[in-house]
Chain A
Amino acid sequence: MLEALVYGAIAALISGTVLPLLYRSKNTRKTSFGLSLLSSILLLGFAGALLYTGKEPVFPPIRYLPGLDFTLVADRLSAGFILLIAAVVPGVSIYSVEYVEHAKSEAGKNLQTALTNLFILAMLMVVLAGNMVIFLIFWEIMSLSSLLLVLHDYSSEENKKAGFFYFVMTNISTAFLFVGFISLFRLTGSADFGPLEYSASELALPFLSLFIGFGVKAGLVPFHKWLPYAHPAAPSSVSALMSGVMLKVAVYGFLRFLLSVFTPELWWGVLIITAGSLSALFGVIYALKENDIKRLLAYSSIENIGIIFTGIGLYVIFKVEGLESLALLSLAGACFHAFNHALFKSLLFLCAGSIVHATGTRKIEAFGGLVKTMPATTALFMIGSVSIAALPPTNGFAGELLLYQAFFQSFAVTDPLLTVFLITALSSFALTGALAAALFVKLFGITCLALPRSEKSRLAEEVQKPMLIGPAVPAALCILAGLFSKQLLSFAGWEIEFPDLLLLGLLLGLIYAALFLIIRSKETSPARISETWGCGIPTLAPHMEYSSAGFSEPLVMIFKNIYRTKIVHKAEYHDKQESLFKNGNVEIRLLRFFEEYLYIPPARAIESFSKYVSSLQNGKLDSYILYAFLAVIVLIIATGGFV
């Protein structure tokens, strides 16, 4: 019965992919997104039933090559991530019905529709994959379909660069996964996900390569740079899927190996927490400085992935230390935060898409006053901002609360060095949370409040209905998942001591209503409207308002060592003695630390090596045959040496 739901969802997604390739019409595109909506409803039923009953369905394997089976597996872990996919897809599908129509060409619209369906299908299949080969096949389909979506508007130079960057990074990720899978295969001779009994030193290589492979795809610092490039280039609905779901698929892959293949070591936990904390902190610190709304959200995704990895690292440490209940708490926190981030980040990306569509710019400094011109989008954007700033009683808070509870009880760990490490990690976690709140005060405040900062923003119009109903779905889920977090966790089988946020929400709501009614009933004179105080200036102008850069200035000053700003003077003079100034400029530039020190040197090395190699290619057939012959001989000698 349950299996049928999965097959139905897969069939719906496949037809959603094929249809728009065959027929070019608006109705086909609508049907196609309807099919992906249908698939998510089927998946919702499947995942919910699996999580509630705990009964795992059996999918009969299909043998497609000798020794290689097409197997699907779904357990509670995959069910959790299928639930995540099923929660994000409806909003994105409804939104896309209208959003995709803004693409330039008719062919482009259909292609985008088909690829979106393929992308969803691939992510679903990665989560369902029953062995490493199937996993890798769909992992690649997922990467390629998202790459094509990032490149949807390939005419601009910036997007081409973004696409290339993403292409390289995603291949690095796959390469590391290959190394990890092959080294595991060498140990066991099997491509299945099964528990391993090997010594720690033998497992170090597979673990590290899988950690880097999944880390690149999830956007962990220092492998995060593709996110802020790819997201502004991609259509917003695709950004919502990439940030909301694809990053979580990488988290799923990592968890799959950590939970059902490896027996973790203590240093793995320390490594994972360190990478997680650094990602969280750097992500939010870079986001604070950002002036491009989609790039800012991309950096914020890096931050949240960091939080998820911090939770996973805590799980490993507690597991090794034998603190089972705390380990469970941290794992629940990491998974729940992954689910929550999927909801509020897709919500925020969809709202950002609407704002960018209405104003025609991505610059935060050019927004302002949208609360008046786009009230509904602003309200949805508000829900997303409150959730991501982890304020009670939303779901963003519920996830972080689980992790805080794990941290607060973690001092039962007896190792002194570990205690110091955990205090450091906790402080960095707290700092991240508070910086995220500051970040979203800035984003929401500068984007939606006060006077419009540009003509485009002043003339912005509210978007069409589907682009409001779409984000309304994750917005409603954000609130519900927060209020019913305790009930949700116990539904999924996690009996954890957890405050009842429903009670808290009800209390807040009731006291608010009571206060409002009491004050309003006593009110004697109506409110007046009068100008904002501006020290006597008759009318306030937009350029007098606090700007995005101004808002983050104090934090930039405090963290100036991390930003590494560089002041560059350029000047021309009329004379040689440099006394008569002709023209020039001074710019304060952000040093792109990771790019300049970590990405570019290896890229240059590879480039010069390729140039050297290309000189061997002389275009003559006989010399190529010679190369092939030499290669075969070298291979025979090399493998012979091993045997």
Chain B
Amino acid sequence: MNTSFLLFALLNPLFALLAAPLYMALIRKVKAYAQGRRGPSLFQVYYDLRKLLQKEAVYSPTSSWIMRFTPYLNLSTLLVCSLFVPLVFVPEPAGGIGNIIVFLYLLALERFFTALGGLDAGSAFGGMGSSRSMSLAAVIEPTMVVAFAALAFVLKSLNLHQMFALNAGTILPISPTLVLVSISLFIILIVETGRLPVDNPATHLELTMINEAMILEQTGTNLALLELAHALKQFLLMGILINTILPVGLSTEIDAGKIAVSAFLFLLKAGLLAIIIGLFESALAKMRLFRLPAFYVMAFFFSALTILIEVFA
């Protein structure tokens, strides 16, 4: 452990935790504008979280400790994940934190328990959500792994910190093939955060839900923790994409001014990405469940292409 990493371990999760809900709101706002509405305030998500945190939880008599355990576990997992993706500055590596495979499997840990939570209350909707979520996650997994393998290959490390340290300081990515990986990363971001055309986060019909169906039985404080974990997941995946395609301004040294600039620039870049996601969602309709594997193959193709180009170039 070095001071650089300790500072990072304090700043980065805090920054992610505070900023993540904002982008949930921003995407919602963009979609509202695209539909000709004004939409709720950007701070509505924060208000909702505060309200939920003050409410008591309601449990089904069928449910067990899984349902009580999952929200805390999910948020802790995502907080650990936030140590893996440098947002404000890139620290010196420590203890294998930042390993890209560990990051992937921490996301899997979160998904595993969310799915069990969906089955816990005995509701058919929850079971349906769990079943669909695990099935789609299984089909996207090869794409995710190959995309991350391509990223690791191009940036010559298995550690996200070292990768982005290599990529930082330039305006554009160090290799043109990173643009190809970014397309895959964008699709992964859409799939992993349950957005259109995979899942509709704004749906009110239980039969079309995937992610929402699993947390249908969660209430009050527990729901707030799950929502926060979901926002964090989206923010971190956005972070990986941004650090890959537009690393400009990411600081690699500890300097108050540079860290501030780095954080501010990141907020701007994330804002731009959120607008793109919002427009992307507005332009697409939800795909049929069994059409989705074809959509994933596209992302797979771009990642595999990256590795092949890098190997043969």
A-side interface residues toward B, CB under 8 Å? 369, 371-372, 386, 389-392, 397, 401, 404-405, 407-409, 411, 414, 416, 419-420, 423, 426-431, 433-435, 437-438, 440-442, 444-446, 449-451, 486, 498-500, 503-504, 507-508, 511-512, 515-516, 519, 522-535, 540, 542, 544-546, 550-555, 557-558
Contacts and interface: CB of A to CB of B under 8 A. Distances in A.
A431 B60 contact: no
B310 A499 contact: no
A285 to B, nearest CB: 10
Contacts of B73: 512
A281 B102 CA distance: 22
Contacts of B106: 392
B174 interface: no
Contacts of B145: 404, 426-427, 429-430
Contacts of A553: 131
B119 A554 contact: no
Contacts of A371: 64-66
B65 A441 contact: no
A527 B223 CA distance: 13
A372 B96 CA distance: 39
B223 to A, nearest CB: 12
B120 A389 contact: no
Given A392-B102, A437-B111, A554-B131, A508 B119 contact: no
15 contacts: A411-B311, A423-B307, A423-B308, A431-B142, A444-B116, A449-B66, A450-B121, A499-B96, A499-B97, A503-B97, A508-B76, A534-B123, A545-B127, A546-B119, A546-B124
B261 interface: no
A527 to B, nearest CB: 4
A438 to B, nearest CB: 4
Nearest to A512: B76
A511 B76 contact: yes
Contacts of A498: 96
A390 B53 CA distance: 32
Nearest to B292: A558
Most buried by B among A522, A552, A555: A555
Contacts of B127: 445, 450, 545-546, 550-551
Contacts of A545: 122-124, 127
Given A515-B72, A530-B59, A533-B123, 16 more contacts: A369-B62, A430-B142, A434-B139, A438-B134, A445-B120, A450-B62, A450-B127, A519-B225, A525-B56, A529-B61, A532-B60, A532-B62, A551-B130, A554-B289, A558-B290, A558-B293
Given A405-B158, A430-B145, A555-B138, A437 B112 contact: yes
B300 interface: yes
Size bin of chain B's contact surface: 35 or more
Nearest to B79: A511
B289 A504 contact: no
Kindly list the 7 A-B residue pairs having the minimum CB-CB distance in the complex, ordered from nearest: A546-B127, A499-B96, A434-B141, A450-B122, A445-B119, A427-B142, A430-B145
A124 to B, nearest CB: 34
B58 A530 contact: yes
Contacts of A532: 60, 62-63, 121-123, 217
Nearest to A430: B145
B146 A423 contact: yes
A445 B79 contact: no
A450 B119 contact: yes
B35 interface: no
Nearest to B131: A551
A176 to B, nearest CB: 33
Interface string B94-127: 0111011110011011011001100111111111
B122 A527 contact: no
Nearest to A440: B112
Nearest to A371: B64
B221 interface: yes
B93 to A, nearest CB: 10
A408 B72 contact: no
A500 B96 contact: yes
Contacts of A445: 115-116, 119-120, 127, 130
Interface string B202-231: 000010000000001100110001000000
A546 B105 contact: no
Interface in B299-313: 300, 304, 307-308, 310-312
B119 A533 contact: no
B306 to A, nearest CB: 10
Contacts of A533: 123, 125, 216-217
A546 B308 contact: no
A503 B62 contact: no
B59 A392 contact: no
* Chain B contact residues, majority secondary structure: helix
Contacts of A499: 95-97, 99, 102
B149 interface: yes
A637 B85 CA distance: 77
Most buried by A among B58, B66, B76, B300: B76
Nearest to B144: A430
B57 interface: yes
Contacts of B83: 507
A504 to B, nearest CB: 7
Given A419-B308, A427-B300, A434 B59 contact: no
B77 interface: yes
Most buried by B among A392, A434, A503, A550: A434
Nearest to B149: A408
A557 B135 CA distance: 10
Contacts of A438: 134-135, 137-138
A503 B95 contact: yes
Contacts of A531: 60-61
A445 B117 CA distance: 9
B27 to A, nearest CB: 26
A451 B124 CA distance: 12
Most buried by A among B75, B95, B100, B132: B95
A557 B290 contact: yes
Contacts of A511: 76, 79-80
Contacts of B87: none
Given A371-B64, A405-B101, A391 B108 contact: yes
B152 interface: yes
A426 B55 CA distance: 46
Contacts of A555: 135, 138
Nearest to B154: A411
A554 B123 contact: no
Nearest to A390: B105
Contacts of B24: none
B2 interface: no
B130 A441 contact: yes
B77 A508 contact: yes
B54 interface: yes
Given A437-B111, A508-B76, A516-B72, A408 B128 contact: no
Contact of B138 (A423, A434, A522): A434
A512 B119 contact: no
A441 B72 CA distance: 19
A326 to B, nearest CB: 12
B307 A408 contact: no
Nearest to B304: A423
A423 B148 CA distance: 12
Contacts of A389: 108, 112
Given A540-B62, A540-B122, A551-B131, A407 B96 contact: no
A414 B308 CA distance: 11
Contacts of B119: 441, 445-446, 449-450, 546
Contact of A441 (B62, B112, B308): B112
Nearest to B67: A449
B280 interface: no
Contacts of B109: 391-392
